Amino acid sequence: MSSTGYTGYTLQFRDIPAVRHIARRLHNYPDVDMGPGRKYKFHLRRQRIRISEILYSGKRTTAYLGRCKNETEVVLKFTDTENILAEAGAYDVMADIQGTAVPYIYGVLHGKDRKGGKMSCLVMEHFGTPLEREFCTLTKQDKAKILDKLVAVHHAGLHHMDFAERNVLVEGDDYRIIDFESAEEHQTPCKWTYKFIHHVDDDDVDNESAFVDCYVVKLWAEQMEFWDHGRLRLCHVVFVPKSDKLPSQSVVDAMETFIGLNMKTVYYPEETKKITVRYFEEVQRRLKSGQPLEELQEQRDWITYLVHKQWHEERI
């Protein structure tokens, strides 16, 4: 048996650069013996796990990328043992949505630091990277996917309590919600039954509807600007009333462009707004003439140029 009292898994930190991080406090670092506790079953066979990268490092928490013997990638999150166990308990509550709304959890490993104190890590699937865009700048489809996963967490019986972009992972067109060490019990069963992905064309929502009976989910949907309430958001910053002359929000998101092409011209906010509106009016005109969206996306830069050219010619 290992001198730490924990055995079965050896974490090898030999590929990690010589910088300060939590795992350096482990007994026998860089080849560390750890093992599962009695409370939580561990879902990987006993083996060596090669730690190849630091994914995140903060004052209290460090997340590492590990590779198993069969090259399966895992994330090992080290922080205070109390918080690790609290988060593991939250993931237990969410067992039915692991691998879909939240990451799949392999379990918790324990070891000792050099002074004999307990150190623990949560081991989970490696999925994507943290979301680097603000929620409100995402397409409506992506907002719907994230919100539906938040609803799944609520239906599992938890409030996240620290829901934010940094705690959402993205891989391709899919998402996972992470970091549940501060999660709290949903005091009453969540009654929200409005499926966001089925309502991406909704402009508004009936606040009195029984389908949207969860204040927290409703608040996040509003903060993410899922419902436009009769407005279009053009290029993330320009809000205008909906009009037959302008395309739908989904087309707007698909045809996003950069306004302000001439580096020698100062574009004041009102001028930027006019050019932006004119650009999307041109997109809508071409759509109505029968031009497919896929073709317009290929011509996006050319359409943007023509609209700017026309605007500059009118100013001469």
Q: Omega of the bond prior to 30 within 30 degrees of 0, cis?
A: yes
CA pair distance 94, 160, nearest whole angstrom: 12
CB atoms within 10 A of CB 158: 20
> Quick one: pLDDT at residue 3?
56
Q: Are 23 and 51 in contact (CB under 8 A)?
A: yes
- DSSP label of 228: -
- Could you report how far apart the first and last alpha carbons of the chain are, in Å? 84
Domains of the chain from N-terminus onward:
9-125 (3.30.200.20), 131-223 (1.10.510), 231-315 (no CATH)
Residue 226: per-residue pLDDT: 94
Question: CA angle, corner 99, sides to 93 and 105, nearest 5?
Answer: 60
* 88, 105 Cβ separation under 8 angstroms: yes
- Which tokens is 22 given? 């939590």
pLDDT confidence of residue 260: 82
- 10-residue mean pLDDT series, the chain (316 residues): 71 91 94 88 94 93 96 97 95 97 97 95 97 92 97 98 97 97 94 96 90 95 92 87 92 90 77 94 97 97 94 86
Global pTM? Answer: 0.80
Torsion from C-alpha of 199, 205, 207, 212, nearest 10 degrees: 10
